[in-house]
Structure 1
Amino acid sequence: MIETRPADLKNDRSEIIELVQRHLDPQSGEERFEWLYLDNPHGPARVWLAIDLDNRSVVGMGAAFPRKVFTQESERTGWVLGDFCLDGRYRSLGPALQLQKAILAEVDAGDVSFCYDFPSKSMMAVLSRLRAASMQEMVRMVMPLRVDLHVRRFVANRVSASVLSDVGNFGLWILTRAWSVSSSVEVDSHHGLCGNEFSRLAKEIGGRRGVCVYRSADYLNWRYLRNPLREYHLLTARRNGRLDAYAVYACNGDEATLHDLFGGDDPTVIKSLIIRLVHRLVAQGVMSLTVPLLATHPWLSLLESLWFRRRESTPVFLYWSRTVHVGFSGEPWWLMQGDRDS
């Protein structure tokens, strides 16, 4: 039998780190804990521990990481859930459901306005038993930038595969170079930390984006540029020197992922930003560009116009407090890969 209790980030620090290392990421440690649990400019993490009453040992945990968001009517604080894990003998539905209910009870009590999660398949069995305010889907959009891997799957002869790959890659290069970028949009790499202009853009646009994380300069610096887990790159789009949009991406070997894409309502700016990113990645020999985003995201159709294609989808769990009078259900949620916990 287990019980749940809120953790103390100072006194329970070692147990939290050890659980994450044992169940989620063996490479995780003090640096990740400091960054993810303590340094978030939107507030420190909340953690709930599962305790075996027979021996008083810590056998599981779930965490919630604060996110300030804009809605069309107000600014609110919620959580993105993560680092949910239980020791093997406790992974039946009962203990997992008990731990998840303890977390959501804080939302129901009005401590925060909402939470969201990107659950694994195993977690879906737990969440399906709970009152979900909304279940949506994150879809993975992919654009191939080179055909080498696809050709190797069907052509065994190396010489033939090389020739076909060269032809296919040249065709993709011609296609992407034919895309025009607006002459009024200046796209360039951003070096150093984000400044006040990023906070200004977040405040100008966030409220028009439905439910959208407040991407202040402090948040972007923490989430991406001071992230100890991965190296991110940032491209900005400006008109007359004024920041209009930006893209945050990361490369893993010969694959690239667009983690964040934020800007105004003008599709010309967003399209120019994506095209410049594609050109840059093609020049670096990257094989493909992936863009995970909510299936209802307004820019999904723009990506499809640039030859991005839908691949698999994964669930997104949305949950808000019963005391919230502003209807989250009536507003679009602008979620991308960068809106996860880490």
Structure 2
Amino acid sequence: MNTPPPTPQYLVRTGDPLRDRDTVLSIWWGNLGREDRIAAKYDWFYLAGPHGAPLLQLLQETGSGQYVGTACAGRRRMCRGGQSLQAGVLVDLAVLPEHRSLGPALMLQQGLIEAADREIDVLYGFPNPKAAPVFKRIGYTHLTDLVRHARVLRHAAYLKSRLPGVLAAIAGPLVDMAFATRDGLRRLRGPRLRASWGTAADARMDALWQSAPRGDAVMSVRDCKQAKWRFDDSPLASTRYLWLTAPGSDALVAWFAVQVENAALHVRDFWSKDGGNGMSHACLLALLSAARAAGHASVSVEITGPEQQLRGWQQAGFVPRSKRPIFVRWSRGQTPDANWFFTSADEDE
């Protein structure tokens, strides 16, 4: 009778991002992300982060000594009102196929929790729905969802699913013109804003971040340093900025960090003089006008936050399309009740 092989045993070890680079990449290869960019992503996110080395955990199979899994929490600066918070975003859980079971994944996540309890205030992550039970099991709370809102600017493709092709082709530009005219009239009734495009983070972002009210929501710091690392230095996507200023002034009223996919303009992050009180209707109409002028078919944003943060987007015609859960775990026994303000910039890519 054949004796079954022994059940693998594992240890979780604290990793060093510089020393263990090759080990982590060997686990990622073929298992996590696009192979043509994983090395560049590692060097940017793990080695060049402006807030210190991420919390890295490695899973070792004790019998062979082979490292078979990895997980990480990247450091982020957050705040709540006037209080600074050290946060960690959960990223890059990867386990080699022959070791994929609930036990190893739980061990890696528990290792991150123990490291976080020593060093940071809060962990958060965006797990896929299948992983949600695991996060609940180890003490995370599903506090909110990251909701994608979209506004259609070119309606022909949208109307093709509802009208015959010829009618959609005729009606589309007419509908486009009607909405553009309505938005233009609304802009005339509001404060005048000047829009310009940029390709790099700007020091004016610091003054806007410092002067705008933040409310009581937990949010990431949105200054020039953060934007430069998160967007300008990232090897994963190309980002532009839309700057909004008042006539005769160079000071920022608002900014949007945007990325283009096909004909869609995706707002990845933003901030305005209204801060935690939401984005004004005038700023969003200026965004839509700039997007139309650039030829985009739609504008979207992923956001969660207090009702006042969402209200402006909804009033500007943005409609909820889909949502993803966000799980949060406070360290050192903290369980404060809080509102959360997230955008897709709060992820790792």
Report the TM-score, using the length of structure 2 for normalisation: 0.88
Say if 1:139 and 1:311, in contact at 8 Å, map to a contact too: yes
In the aligned structure 1, how far is the partner of 2:278 from the partner of 2:50?
A: 32
1:113 to 118, 121, 124: 121
- Within-5 A mapping of 1:294-313: 294=304, 296=306, 298-313=308-323
The 1:17/1:194 distance shift into structure 2, 3 A limit, reads: farther
Corresponding residue for 1:275?
285
Partner residue in 1 for 2:270? 261
Match of 2:257 among 248, 252, 262: 248
Which of the residues 243, 256, 260 maps onto 1:236? 243
Q: Map of 1:23-38 to 2, 5 A cutoff?
A: 23-25=31-33, 26-38=35-47
Distance 1:223 1:115, change over 3 A: same
Aligned to 1:333: 340
CA RMSD after TM alignment: 2.3
Distance 1:2-1:148 versus aligned 2 partners, 3 A rule: farther
SS of the aligned residue for 1:23 comes to coil
Distance 2:164 2:103 in 1: 50
User: Gapped runs of 5+ residues in structure 1?
Assistant: none
Q: CA deviation at 1:34?
A: 1.6
Q: Which residue of 2 aligns with 1:75?
A: 84
Give TM-score scaled by structure 1 length. Answer: 0.89
Counterpart AA for 2:48: D
Say if 2:217 is the partner of 1:201.
no
Deviates more, 1:240-249 or 1:204-213: 204-213
Preserved contact between residue 61 and residue 86 of structure 1 (Cα < 8 Å): yes
Tell me which amino acid in the other structure corresponds to 1:4: V
Q: Are 1:86 and 2:95 matched, yes or no?
A: yes
Q: 1:51 to 1:69 in 2, by over 3 A?
A: same
- The 1:184/1:174 distance shift into structure 2, 3 A limit, reads closer
One-letter code of the match for 1:119?
P
Listed as ranges, the matches of 1:6-25 within 5 Å are 6-25=14-33
The number of equivalent residue pairs is 336
Question: Counterpart amino acid of 1:6?
Answer: T
Separation in 1 of the partners of 2:180 and 2:87? 43
**Residue 47 of structure 1: aligned partner:** 56
Equivalent residue number for residue 97 of structure 1: 106
Whether contact under 8 Å (1:188, 1:236) holds in the other structure is yes
Aligned to 2:65: 56
Q: Secondary structure at the match of 2:328?
A: strand
1:152 aligns to what? 160
Shift of 1:28: 2.3
**1:167 pairs with 2:177:** no
Q: Deviations over 1:58-91 (max 9, x none)?
A: 2221111111112124212111111112222333
Q: Which has the larger radius of gyration?
A: 2
Residue 170 of structure 1 aligns with an amino acid whose one-letter code is M
